[in-house]
Amino acid sequence: MINATPIPILSDNYVWLLSRPDSGSTVIVDPGEASPALAFLESSGLECAAVLLTHHHADHTGGAAEIGKACKCTIYGPAQESIPSVSHPVGENETVAAAGLAFDVLSVPGHTRGHVAYVGHGHVFCGDTLFAGGCGRIFEGSPAQMFESLSILAALDPKTRICCAHEYTVANLEFALLVEPGNVQLVDRLTSARTTRSAGRPTLPSSLEVELATNPFLRCSKPGVVDSASRHAGRRLEAGVDVFAEVRRWKDLR
């Protein structure tokens, strides 16, 4: 059991702070800026034992160096990307241990060339690979890479809590309804997400079980998604990566 607290930063990012209920130390994930995380540490009496970075974009790394200096902690990040603040590069099949916590590293490229995710204690910290109701744009990889990365995440325990790095849920679900308008669970989820956001609360974490039922990027073999993607493409598409690529293209154009 861990506490996973999302701290809002910038326009729509979250920094995640992770700790055991009985621990005085924490792990910080993807600090795009330092001051909100440092303020949380001060107010909660926690010490930062490590920083985990999923990829090199500044809205995920911008505060890492300052936190590392202030807290004298190790900064972990993807070995295949150049991030100056990283003191300990990590990759597939490695484990990060800090603050009494341990996370396995998964390679999930597509959004960026060396993007990683951290899995442990019933949670996955997936940066910009998998979002609640959506997935990240493909900036440095290929649709095939991103589809494979999402397939890796989709194979985790369905109870896994999805801790992504942006509050995009309502917009993602609105698009998802265009793709799969007959999905009753999706309609209910969008209604709930709108209510949550209207109250000023985060929609995260999600769960993999919910994503598998409502996220079109994880449902590229479902007949409704295949049919919608094929209509949008103007030709019949094969279930799987072809459908994924078309749905991602469709979302990019909105």
Residues marked active site are found at: 55, 57, 59-60, 111, 128, 166
- Let me know: does 68 contact 77? Beta carbons within 8 Å: no
Would you list the DSSP string of the chain? --EEEEEEETTTEEEEEEE-TT-SEEEEE--SSSHHHHHHHHHHT-EEEEEE--S--HHHHTTHHHHHHHHT-EEEEETTS--TT-SEEE-TT-EEEETTEEEEEEE--SSSTT-EEEEETTEEEEETTEETTEE---SSS-HHHHHHHHHHHHTS-TT-EEEESB--HHHHHHHHHHH-TT-HHHHHHHHHHHHHHHTT-----EEHHHHHHH-GGG-TTSHHHHHHHHHHHTS---TTHHHHHHHHHHHHT-
- Let me know: does 203 contact 191? Beta carbons within 8 Å: no
